[in-house]
A = this chain, B = another copy of it.
Amino acid sequence: MSAPTKVTPISGFPELLPADRLLELHVLDTIREVFELHGFAPLETRAVEPVERLLGKGGDADKEIYGVTRLTGEESSRDADLGLHFDLTVPFARYVLEHAGKLHFPFRRYQVQKVWRGERPQEGRFREFTQADIDIVDAGELAAHFEAEVPLVVAEVFRRLPVGPFRIQVNNRKVPEGFYLGIGLTDVQGTLRIVDKLDKIGPEQVAAQLVQAGASAEQARLALALAEVRSQDLSFVEAVRGLGVEHPVLDEGLEALAAVVRAGAESAPGTLVADLRIARGLDYYTGTVYETQLLGAEEWGSVCSGGRYDSLASDGRTTYPGVGISIGVTRLVHLLLTRRGLRASRSTPAAVLVAVVDEASRRRSDLVAAALRGRGVPCEVAPSAARFGKQIRYADRRGIPFVWFPGAGEDDADQVKDIRSGEQVDADATTWVCPPQDLRPGIVTPAG
């Protein structure tokens, strides 16, 4: 059997080398730890959904769906039209409907899985990527305090990661909706879509497009003025009030947004910012929406987004409103690798390489390794009884800090060498303590 010789990457389907995957695992472990500390239950959903369930749920036309079909399926056993999920919220909403009778509400879950989108690949955008989501859903009514809790969980994740300063921007869709209605712009979705381009095309172009869509110059000016409002404290309420627009939906939105920003200022000062231009493309959001920027890497777009949805999961009798947020793990990790220059301190979990003196004594090295593992020290045994210089180089190339030499000391005692310092001392595999900072691969910053 001969393999095809052409081996090429597929654009948009990233793969990492082992050391970079270790950094990604560190990010994933941190996320999971914080999610579990906050009592979110783990869940996975299948990778495929009926295409009809995916269509129309994504909002943006560019969230292209990948269809899935058996290549050799007989006609009679054809599956229904299936597609790969493009996010974890739509499948989760379906899961809630399907298993509602066996879940306890309010239901808190986290979910870390791959998703697929046929978008044009570009820096920070991929066709296959990992998302890490938390959501809280309830049956009938969802308490407002969950809308403040969800971004604070993410803030705790980001504080534990080497991402530097970040900002979670919060808005409530009811604010622009009520505001637009209050100034007589009834095409709320259309207006949001144009204002959403502010960062890309600038205020003049946005104003021009709004006028083109039927707004007066004054309406366009006010819509832009709303989008300019932002504050870390509650002053955004006065700023909006100062624009002189009145509408009951606006009042509702400002009150809800103020509650989230107030809770954020109490628990994590400076982290949550009311930013009235944030809208989110996905059309299932109905209230609070979130985006997250890493300061200095704003052009990568949001690394964590979400919001409240009131009617995504409904079986006609009961509605399950929810609020959730999703960390774009793949984008975040690529940013840490390519922009921040972070890397793992080694390319393997092994902290120790147990040298082999000669093939006849490999069993002795195996027993040393078993003793170390029994005490929680990751290690491997040298692949061959090469001369010690070569075995040390094997460890060095992988960043393994310690090499263990069976019987190298006096009276046949074992010795262990820290190959960074060169220090070599007598050691016993049943008592040796690996320095805690060397037990797992660490994260290395360019400076340190």
Contacts and interface: CB of A to CB of B under 8 A. Distances in A.
A87 interface: no
Contacts of A102: 17
Contacts of A109: 18
Interface string A14-31: 111110011001000000
Interface stretch (A191-199, A245-253, A379-387, A404-412): A379-387
Interface in A374-406: 376-380, 383-384, 394, 397-398
A447 interface: no
A46 B21 CA distance: 13
Q: How many copies does the complex hold?
A: 2
A414 interface: no
B69 A66 contact: yes
A143 B381 CA distance: 13
B97 A71 contact: no
A3 B313 contact: yes
Given A44-B21, A64-B70, A384-B143, A52 B4 contact: yes
A145 to B, nearest CB: 7
Interface string A112-132: 001010101000000010000
A241 interface: no
A84 B384 CA distance: 37
A171 to B, nearest CB: 20
A71 B119 CA distance: 12
Interface stretch (A212-220, A294-302, A343-351): A343-351
Interface in A63-104: 64-73, 77, 79-80, 82-84, 93-95, 97-99, 102-104
Contact of A138 (B77, B138, B377, B383): B383
B94 A68 contact: no
Nearest to A59: B1
B66 A67 contact: no
Given A1-B284, A16-B44, A378 B39 contact: yes
A313 B1 CA distance: 10
A3 B312 contact: yes
Contact of A48 (B13, B52, B349, B377): B13
Interface in A107-164: 108-109, 114, 116, 118, 120, 128, 138, 143, 145-146
Interface string A244-272: 00000000000000000000001100000
A97 B3 contact: yes
Nearest to A94: B7
A366 interface: yes
A37 interface: yes
A8 B97 CA distance: 10
A394 B108 CA distance: 13
A95 B3 CA distance: 13
Contacts of A5: 315-316
B143 A37 contact: no
Given A2-B311, A39-B349, A69 B72 contact: no
A414 B119 CA distance: 53
A15 B111 CA distance: 13
A311 B71 contact: no
Interface of A: 1-5, 7-10, 13-18, 21-22, 25, 36-48, 50-53, 56, 64-73, 77, 79-80, 82-84, 93-95, 97-99, 102-104, 106, 108-109, 114, 116, 118, 120, 128, 138, 143, 145-146, 266-267, 283-284, 311-316, 347-350, 362-363, 366, 370, 373, 376-380, 383-384, 394, 397-398
16 contacts: A2-B314, A3-B93, A3-B315, A7-B315, A8-B98, A15-B45, A15-B46, A17-B99, A18-B43, A39-B350, A41-B349, A48-B128, A66-B70, A68-B84, A70-B118, A138-B383
Task: Give the 5 A-B residue pairs with the shortest CB-CB distance, closest first.
Answer: A39-B380, A39-B350, A36-B349, A13-B46, A18-B41
